[in-house]
């Protein structure tokens, strides 16, 4: 069982716990599926909006976004794009649930808990995970709708102004409550998977725990959330630094023996990756600022056409190089998300101990209880068979 101090120092265990092929693979598969669905819906939306597929690909690559277009699209285009966003959000919650479950079981000493079991658990609990933010958002929407209706009633001559003014204190308190609900909804997007993964409970328990944390430990919840993001970015940045060094070393060694052919191949491959991920450059700079050249591309590569290369195979090899480099980069990103999910899981374990004085690592949940019951039944059957023999 993982030894915890049950304070902020436990969150710094997240990079080590997340640095696992199992947890990174969980994030890679789930978020990769979500990104594919998001691209499918978004490019369909762009085509429906009148854009040419080639032009859209050259501009956006693998990260298309309608908000970056200055075109006024019809409502149905935004609807299709919204379906892609929803698909990406669902896979994000699914991936976080599976990763959090894997981390939780590993922390309990179940080191043979496989990624398939994590996916099976996430699949079983995905409705509870989704219902948590959906129920909170529904309550918030009803509160907003009620406020709008009251505002509409306030337009009644004479009586409307008097009623609204007499109950202004109530409206201020109601607005404060709406802000509180909005904060709980925001935290649910990141902590609902951790709550479900560590308690093996339903959406009602998840909503209750999120309200309880937000009310009883708001400062710790806020600090741990920012600390989790900082740790995840730092872990992803460190891994990216070493990955970039490995790519540079490979280029230097292979270029020394293959000469200009490999240099042209690598140049084209890196130019393709830059073109495919052009929309991520500003985001990466916003996250890492002055450290960006140590983690990402530090120069611009220009694609060389086939007629300028020694052989056509150099051009084909550039695409294989680009796909390999993109796959390597996706592992780095998946590690960052895995660290974030792990940090949120550890943060919830700490806050649950602080709030209820309960160590969830010592708790036997429904899945474990079912497995023990199954093993006992099998053991009992084996004993009966032996007695019969």
Cα 144 to Cα 127, 149, 150, 184, 330: the distances in Å are 25, 9, 10, 16, 39
Q: Judge whether 288 and 233 are in contact, CB under 8 Å.
A: yes
Provide the token pair at 273. 């990756």
Helix (H) or strand (E) holding 91: helix 75-107
What mean pLDDT value characterizes the chain? 89
Cα 218 to Cα 180, 183, 215, 355: the distances in Å are 10, 10, 6, 11
Q: How far apart are the first and last CA of the chain?
A: 40
Burial grade of 116 (CB within 10 A; 0-12, 13-18, 19 or more): exposed
pLDDT digits (tens, 9 = 90+) for 162-214: 777 777 788 888 889 999 999 999 999 999 999 999 998 889 999 999 999 99
pLDDT digits (tens, 9 = 90+) for 25-52: 999 999 999 999 999 999 999 999 888 8
Report the pLDDT value the prediction gives residue 156, as an integer from 0 to 100: 76
Give the whole-angstrom CA distance, residue 331 versus residue 239: 10
Q: Above 60 in pLDDT, residue 385?
A: no
Provide the token pair at 336. 């960052």
pLDDT digits (tens, 9 = 90+) for 50-75: 888 888 898 899 999 888 777 788 88
Is the pTM higher than 0.95?
A: no
Q: Above 90 in pLDDT, residue 365?
A: no
Place of tokens 């080191």: 111
Q: Which SS3 state, helix, strand or coil, does residue 174 take? A: helix
| Sign of the C-alpha dihedral computed for residues 160, 166, 169 and 173 taken in this order | negative
Q: Above 80 in pLDDT, residue 384?
A: no
**Phi, psi values for residue 72, rounded to 5°:** -85, 100
């Amino acid at each position: 069982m993982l030894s915890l101090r049950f304070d902020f120092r436990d969150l710094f265990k997240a990079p080590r716990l997340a640095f696992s092929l199992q947890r990174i693979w969980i994030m890679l598969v789930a978020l990769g599926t979500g990104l594919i669905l998001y691209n499918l819906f978004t490019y369909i939306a762009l085509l429906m909006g009148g854009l040419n597929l080639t032009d859209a690909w050259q501009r956006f690559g693998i990260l298309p976004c309608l908000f970056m277009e200055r075109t006024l699209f019809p409502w149905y285009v935004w609807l299709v794009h919204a379906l892609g966003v929803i698909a990406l959000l669902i896979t994000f919650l699914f991936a976080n649930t599976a990763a959090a479950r894997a981390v939780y079981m590993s922390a309990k000493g179940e080191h043979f808990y496989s990624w398939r079991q994590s996916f099976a658990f996430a699949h079983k609990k995905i409705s509870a995970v989704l219902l948590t933010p959906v129920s909170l958002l529904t309550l918030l929407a009803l509160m907003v709708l009620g406020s709008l209706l009251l505002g509409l009633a306030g337009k009644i001559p004479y009586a409307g102004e008097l009623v609204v003014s007499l109950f202004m204190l109530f409206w201020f308190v109601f607005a404060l409550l709406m802000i509180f609900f909005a904060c709980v909804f925001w935290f649910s997007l990141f902590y609902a998977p951790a709550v479900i993964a560590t308690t093996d409970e339903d959406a009602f328990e998840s909503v209750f725990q999120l309200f309880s944390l937000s009310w009883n430990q708001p400062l710790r919840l806020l600090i741990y959330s920012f600390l989790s993001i900082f740790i995840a970015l730092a872990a992803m940045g460190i891994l990216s630094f070493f990955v970039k060094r490995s790519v540079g070393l490979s280029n230097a060694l292979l270029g020394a023996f293959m000469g200009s052919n490999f240099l042209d191949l690598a140049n084209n491959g890196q130019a393709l990756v830059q073109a495919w991920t052009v929309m991520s450059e500003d985001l990466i700079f916003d996250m890492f600022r002055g450290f960006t050249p140590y983690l990402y591309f530090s120069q611009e590569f220009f694609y060389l056409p086939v007629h300028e290369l020694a052989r056509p195979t150099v051009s084909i090899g550039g695409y294989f190089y680009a796909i390999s480099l993109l796959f390597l980069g996706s592992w780095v990103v998946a590690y960052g998300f895995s660290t974030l999910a792990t940090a949120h899981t550890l943060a919830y374990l700490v806050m649950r101990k602080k709030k209820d004085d309960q160590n969830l690592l010592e708790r036997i949940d429904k899945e474990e209880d079912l497995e023990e019951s199954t093993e006992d039944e099998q053991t009992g059957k084996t004993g009966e068979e032996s007695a019969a023999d």
